[in-house]
Amino acid sequence: MSDIRMQRRDVLRLLATGTVLQLAPTKLFAVLREARSLVQQHTSPHTLNPHQYDTVKVMAEIIIPKTDTPGATDVGTPDFIDLVLSEWYDEPERKRFLDGLRDVDDRAEKLFSNDFVGCAPAQQAEILRALGDKMTDDSKAFSSSGRSQSLRAYSHNSSFYPMLRRLTLTAYYTSEAGATDELHFEMIPGEYRGCPEPTHTEPAPAKPAIEEAPEHQ
């Protein structure tokens, strides 16, 4: 039982930090399968209240909208985020995330006299652009500061919007749709056929000229 729990914690750590996408393909497949199982078992929000859940849902969909491929909402991003908030983040991290959601509503109220979910799509996009600009400025300031603080420490101490973006992107690219449609990862590997054993020792025939591979569309 402890081994199963440890495996679960390992998967949650990889998902929360976004490092899951840096794994080698063979290990990535196992983690993706476990990750989707965790999300499917997380059937209702444990940390986000209904309004916070809806705010995360709208923000995630703006970050990865539905086009000819599924969007963030289609792959269960809000549930994924609630899972990480509930089972991996410590109390200071949860507070920073939830305070960030409240700040988003405060911005919306000051600018448009409405909470974020109640704003028009163009107004919501304007708020996210401002948050994205601040995230970029903060990242540049960190990079040019010359401090010895590691990127991991920066990620751990980052503000709400980088946390939301990282979780949204991880949720999407660890979903079946994101992994297959965007990363072209084969979720159900085909039959493996190893190299056949040689049946004789005669010299191999000369290799034919290599044909030029067709360009990808």
- The pLDDT of residue 197 is 41
Mean pLDDT, all residues of the chain? 75
Rounded-to-integer distance, Cα 39 and Cα 95, Å: 22
- The pLDDT of residue 57 is 97
42 or 173, higher pLDDT: 173
Q: What is the mean pLDDT of residues 52-71?
A: 94
Rounded-to-integer distance, Cα 163 and Cα 157, Å: 9
Residue 36 has pLDDT above 90, yes or no: no
Of 19-33, 47-61, 105-119, 197-211, least confident by mean pLDDT is 197-211
Residue 213 has pLDDT above 60, yes or no: no
Q: What is the mean pLDDT of residues 83-92?
A: 89
pTM above 0.85, yes or no: no
Three-state SS at 81: helix
- The pLDDT of residue 40 is 73
Three-state SS at 120: coil
φ and ψ of 113, to 5 deg: 55, 40
Residue 185 has pLDDT above 80, yes or no: no
Q: Is the dihedral of CA 160, 67, 53, 79 positive or negative?
A: negative
- The pLDDT of residue 130 is 94
Share of the chain above pLDDT 70, in %: 63
- The pLDDT of residue 192 is 30
Q: What is the mean pLDDT of residues 111-138?
A: 93
Residue 33 has pLDDT above 60, yes or no: yes
Q: In the chain, what are the helix, strand and coil shares in percent, each to the nearest 5? A: 65, 0, 35
Rounded-to-integer distance, Cα 98 and Cα 92, Å: 10
At 155, the pLDDT band (50, 70, 90 cuts) reads very low
**Amino acid sitting at position 78:** P
Rounded to whole angstroms, what are the CA distances from 35 to 38, 90, 161?
Answer: 5, 19, 23
Helix ranges (DSSP H) in 113-212: 121-143, 151-156, 160-173, 176-177
Q: What is the mean pLDDT of residues 130-151?
A: 70
